[in-house]
């Protein structure tokens, strides 16, 4: 299945969930309103999802003068990969992590935390940056960015449904008028974020293996990325980043590794398996 088809599937599936939430909130009329809201969100997430995600983490764009080593690394790797130079951002967090975002290679960005630049040596950091460039080359970034935006909206609406259930719900119990009653709202508050997580899981997880192998080829070695993944896995547990679960799939290592329940729906393969595959590439 191509990434274009996956993008259409993702937009359709998450749109359906938003419409289901609208049905519970306001019956048939609520579902119509939710449909137009979903269309607006689809348009916004396609064009502005990268800006939304970068804003969530208060990432600041850096210039070649501010971070010459980072720019030099990415520029060299992008040339090897045959990609245009992405915009570079730094997140003010000591938790070591990184992600790529954007709608296509011509409109892409890579964000790294301050922590990742502190703990990785040059070869390891190159491996991480090459991994993110591989995501850009494979056009995974649009899928990831749209998933983050729409899943975030669904989780927000599910939270509203949960509060509605606590305080008596909206409307009556008639299916065409009020939307399913308190029991329906409680079920929705549980199922909606779960369904959004499963959709992310199904679309995102296998792409990490492909980005790892593609990144190793771009960097010219697999050992740098393998060592980096081990370091990031252990360090991110000690210093977790304040992350939104809707955006967890975008990071190179799972930022929710310390939260047991959310780990059940991790969009990342086990670090041990990723490292083993990389080492076998030697």
Domains of the chain, by residue range, sit at 3-280
CA 50 to chain centre: 10
CB under 8 Å to 99, separation ≥6 — which residues? 53, 110, 111, 132, 144, 247, 250, 251, 252
| Rounded distance between C-alpha atoms, residue 47 and residue 86, angstroms | 16
Q: What is the distance between the alpha carbons of residues 262 and 258, in angstroms, rounded to a whole number?
A: 9
**Taking a C-beta distance cutoff of 8 angstroms, is the pair 34, 23 a contact?**
yes
Please name the residues in contact with 112: beta carbons below 8 A apart, sequence gap of 6 or more. 70, 88, 89, 90, 91, 97, 98, 128, 129
Burial group, residue 87, by CB count within 10 angstroms (0-12, 13-18, 19+):
middle
In this structure, are residues 112 and 98 in contact, taking their beta carbons and an 8 Å threshold? Answer: yes
φ and ψ at residue 39, rounded to 5 degrees? -65, -40
According to the model, what pLDDT value does residue 172 have? 45
Q: Annotated catalytic sites, by residue?
A: 132
The predicted pLDDT at position 156 comes to: 77
Q: What is the pLDDT along the chain (282 residues), one digit of tens a residue?
A: 566 676 777 778 778 878 877 777 778 888 888 888 888 877 877 788 789 889 999 999 999 999 999 999 999 999 999 999 999 999 999 999 999 999 899 999 999 999 999 999 999 999 999 999 999 999 888 877 777 777 777 777 777 766 766 665 544 444 444 445 666 667 666 776 766 666 666 566 678 999 999 999 999 999 999 999 999 999 988 888 876 777 878 899 988 755 444 444 566 888 999 999 999 986
Cα–Cα distance between 116 and 119 in angstroms, integer? 6
């Amino acid at each position: 299945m191509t990434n274009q088809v996956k993008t259409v599937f993702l937009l359709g599936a998450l749109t359906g969930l938003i419409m289901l939430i609208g049905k519970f909130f306001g019956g048939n009329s609520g579902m119509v309103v939710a449909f137009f809201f979903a269309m607006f969100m689809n348009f916004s997430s396609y064009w502005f999802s990268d800006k939304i995600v970068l804003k969530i983490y208060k990432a600041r764009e850096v210039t070649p003068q501010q971070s010459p080593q980072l720019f030099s690394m990415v520029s060299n790797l992008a040339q090897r990969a045959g990609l245009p130079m992405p915009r570079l951002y730094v997140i003010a967090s000591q938790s070591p992590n990184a992600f790529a975002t954007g709608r296509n290679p011509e409109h892409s960005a890579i964000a790294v935390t301050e922590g990742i630049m502190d703990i990785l040596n040059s070869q390891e950091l190159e491996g991480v940056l090459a991994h993110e460039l591989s995501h850009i080359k494979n056009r995974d970034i649009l899928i990831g960015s749209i998933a983050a935006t729409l899943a975030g909206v669904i989780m927000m609406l599910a939270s509203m449904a949960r509060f509605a259930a606590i305080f008596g719900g909206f409307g009556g119990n008639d299916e065409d008028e009020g939307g399913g009653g308190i029991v329906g709202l409680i079920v929705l508050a549980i199922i909606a974020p779960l369904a959004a997580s499963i959709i992310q899981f199904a679309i995102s997880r296998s792409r990490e293996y492909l980005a790892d192998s593609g990144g190793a080829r771009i960097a010219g070695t697999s050992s740098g990325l393998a060592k980096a993944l081990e370091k990031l896995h252990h360090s991110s547990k000690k210093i977790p980043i304040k992350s939104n679960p809707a955006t967890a799939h975008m990071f190179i290592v799972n930022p929710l590794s310390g939260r047991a329940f959310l780990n059940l729906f991790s969009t990342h393969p086990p670090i041990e398996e990723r490292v083993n595959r990389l080492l076998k590439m030697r």
